[in-house]
Structures are given as structure tokens and as C-alpha cells.
């Protein structure tokens, strides 16, 4: 008896969790194909036809394509720069012992303990002083910095698993330090870079609070801001609002489904630091 009711509770809980996770997403997806009248009269039902007019209209009302391009640029360069810089630093920290290393590692892990919100005004000031306000490059540098602790940790743990003999034989063959890093170490560390890269890309793609304070014009705003700034424009046309929401959500979901294993191991690796 006890066993049976426990089983019912268990499935009830699983179904509830799945509904809570998938429900809002599916409901907005369905609604994004409806007309305004349908949304108001038939909120829970199936759309009468799968028309894409809401999507084309969303792109007309707000400069979503501009925001999209900005997000892609920030995502790609924010990830590449982060992987390059942190890859180099993580390699040296994982492989060599030198004076000041402990201090450096301590300082870097300190960055995990600072809530981003505390740095809102100081970073706004710094970015302004560097002349990077309202420029994509400003966002790229800030996001590269935000990914510092997680990427450093994931990459240096990966480098530690590579046997030292790999480099020693490269040196014997006359390869330089730089050649060894770029030709030998980078290619065999692809899985580590993959994990760190996915985490960093999602950070750049989803970040909101610094995007909002470090940009002011449409030419440098990223996709999450589209929803914030055009909420009022969309408000009269619900279907368009739903379509715009889907446009922001779908890339994250696609990246996640394709690279799920990297995300899962990235989360696990990142958390050990906590």
C-alpha cells in the first residue's frame, strides 16, 4: 500500500515538473501562430492554422534582425576571445610553477564571489572611460571577463589530464613554446574547449543586466533587450509579442539540445569551484 502511493506521488511529481518546464514554452509557441482574436477567445486551444505572419511582423515592428546580428557577433567573439585568453592562462597555470602563482589563482577565484549587480555602476564607469560605451566590443570584453572563473577552471582541469610527455617530445623535435601550445595542446584539448565554449556562448547570448546599462542605441543592443524595449510596442499585438519571445528562446534551446553533454559536464565542472 505504502509502496503504491509512493509510486503515484513519484509520477505525479515528475509530471508536474515536466508540465511546469514545458507548458509555458509550448503554450507561447502555439499562441505565436494565432491571431489576436484567437488568443483572446481561445487562449488554451490549437491555432486555426500555422501562419507565420506574426513572425514576419515581429521583425518589422522591432529591429530584431539588427539585435540578432549583434547577439551573434557578441556570442561568437565573446566566446572566441574568452577561450583564447583563458586557454593561454589556464595552460600556464596548469603546467608551470612560478612565484606569485598562488596569489594569482586566489585573485581569479575571488571573481566568483562578486555578484554582478554590485559592479553595475563601476563597470559602467570603466567602459565609458575606455570609450567603449554603446559598442559591441565593450560587451565582448565585459562578457569575456565574466566567463573568467568558469572557463579557467574547466580548461585548467582539462590540461591537467594531458600527459607531460606530449610536450616534452614536441620540444625534443625542436618545437617552440608557442608552436607546442597551438599545434599540440590546442588540438587535443578540443573537448575541454567545447565545454567551456558552450557555457561562455550561453552567457553571452542570455546576458541582460549589463547589456541594458552598457548600450543605448539599437545598433549595439542584443536580443534579450528586444523583449524589454519593445514590450510596449508589441503589447497591442499579442501574437507578435509571442512570436518575438520565441525568436529569442529558440536558439538557446537548439544549442542546448545539440550540445547537451557539454552543457551538463560544464555545469558539473563549474560547480566544483563553489
9-68: which residues touch other proteins (CB under 8 A)?
10, 13-14, 17-18, 20-25, 27-28, 31, 39-40, 43-44
215-234: which residues touch other proteins (CB under 8 A)?
223-225, 227-228, 231
Which helix (H) or strand (E) segment is 184 a member of? none
Question: Of the candidates 48, 169, 208, 236, which one interacts with other proteins according to CB under 8 A?
Answer: 208
Closer CB to other proteins, 49 or 164, in the complex:
164
140-159: which residues touch other proteins (CB under 8 A)?
141-142, 144-146, 148, 152
Give the span between the Cα atoms of 113 and 80, in whole angstroms.
24
Question: Of the candidates 51, 69, 94, 124, which one interacts with other proteins according to CB under 8 A?
Answer: 124
The CB-side HSE value for 85 (13 A sphere, CA atoms) comes to 17
Q: Using CB under 8 A, count the residues that bind other proteins.
A: 93
Closer CB to other proteins, 51 or 95, in the complex:
95
Closer CB to other proteins, 148 or 196, in the complex:
148
Question: Of the candidates 8, 49, 106, 122, which one interacts with other proteins according to CB under 8 A?
Answer: 122
Closer CB to other proteins, 125 or 188, in the complex:
125
73-102: which residues touch other proteins (CB under 8 A)?
85-86, 88-89, 91-93, 96-98
How large is the greatest C-alpha to C-alpha distance in the chain, in angstroms? 76
Determine the interface stretch with other proteins among 55-63, 138-146, 154-162, 185-193 (rule: CB under 8 A).
Answer: 138-146
Question: Of the candidates 35, 67, 205, 220, which one interacts with other proteins according to CB under 8 A?
Answer: 205
| 217: DSSP letter | S
Cα angle 118, 121, 125 (rounded to 5 degrees) comes to 135
248 touches other proteins by CB under 8 A:
yes
Question: Of the candidates 59, 69, 73, 108, which one interacts with other proteins according to CB under 8 A?
Answer: 108
* Burial status of residue 109 (CB atoms within 10 A of its CB: 0-12, 13-18, 19 or more): middle
Mention every residue, 6+ apart, whose C-beta is less than 8 A from residue 33. 47, 49, 50, 51, 52, 54, 239
The CB-side HSE value for 233 (13 A sphere, CA atoms) comes to 15
The CB-side HSE value for 220 (13 A sphere, CA atoms) comes to 17
Question: Of the candidates 69, 94, 137, 263, which one interacts with other proteins according to CB under 8 A?
Answer: 263
Closer CB to other proteins, 22 or 166, in the complex:
22
Q: How far is CA 105 from CA 29, 101, 170, 186, 189, in A?
A: 45, 6, 28, 22, 21
Whether 185 contacts 95, CB under 8 Å: no
Mapped onto helix, strand or coil, the DSSP state of residue 147 is coil
The closest alpha carbon to 206, from 20, 115, 61, 78, belongs to 78
Give the nearest distance from C-beta 224 to other proteins in angstroms: 4
Amino acid at each position: 500500500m505504502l509502496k503504491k502511493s509512493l509510486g503515484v506521488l513519484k509520477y505525479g511529481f515528475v509530471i508536474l515538473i515536466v508540465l511546469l518546464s514545458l507548458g509555458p514554452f509550448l503554450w507561447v509557441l502555439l499562441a505565436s501562430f494565432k491571431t489576436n482574436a484567437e488568443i483572446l477567445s481561445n487562449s488554451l486551444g490549437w491555432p486555426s492554422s500555422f501562419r507565420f505572419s506574426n513572425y514576419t511582423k515581429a521583425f518589422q515592428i522591432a529591429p530584431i534582425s539588427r539585435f540578432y546580428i549583434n547577439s551573434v557577433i557578441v556570442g561568437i567573439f565573446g566566446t572566441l576571445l574568452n577561450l583564447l585568453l583563458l586557454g593561454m592562462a589556464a595552460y600556464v597555470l596548469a603546467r608551470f610553477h612560478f612565484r606569485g602563482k598562488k596569489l594569482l589563482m586566489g585573485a581569479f577565484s575571488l571573481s566568483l564571489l562578486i555578484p554582478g549587480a554590485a559592479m553595475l555602476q563601476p563597470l559602467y564607469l570603466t567602459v565609458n572611460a575606455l570609450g567603449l560605451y554603446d559598442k559591441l566590443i565593450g560587451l565582448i570584453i565585459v562578457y569575456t571577463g565574466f566567463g573568467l572563473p568558469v572557463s579557467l577552471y574547466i580548461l585548467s582541469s582539462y590540461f591537467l589530464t594531458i600527459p607531460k610527455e606530449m610536450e616534452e617530445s614536441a620540444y625534443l623535435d625542436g618545437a617552440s613554446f608557442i608552436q607546442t601550445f597551438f599545434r599540440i595542446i590546442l588540438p587535443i584539448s578540443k573537448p575541454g574547449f567545447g565545454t567551456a565554449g558552450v557555457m561562455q556562448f550561453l552567457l553571452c547570448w542570455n546576458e541582460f543586466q549589463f547589456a541594458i546599462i552598457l548600450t543605448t542605441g539599437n545598433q549595439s543592443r542584443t536580443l534579450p533587450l528586444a523583449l524589454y524595449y519593445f514590450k510596449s510596442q508589441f503589447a497591442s499585438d499579442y501574437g507578435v509579442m509571442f512570436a518575438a519571445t520565441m525568436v529569442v528562446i529558440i536558439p538557446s534551446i537548439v544549442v542546448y539540445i545539440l550540445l547537451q553533454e557539454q552543457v551538463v559536464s560544464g555545469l558539473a565542472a563549474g560547480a566544483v569551484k563553489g
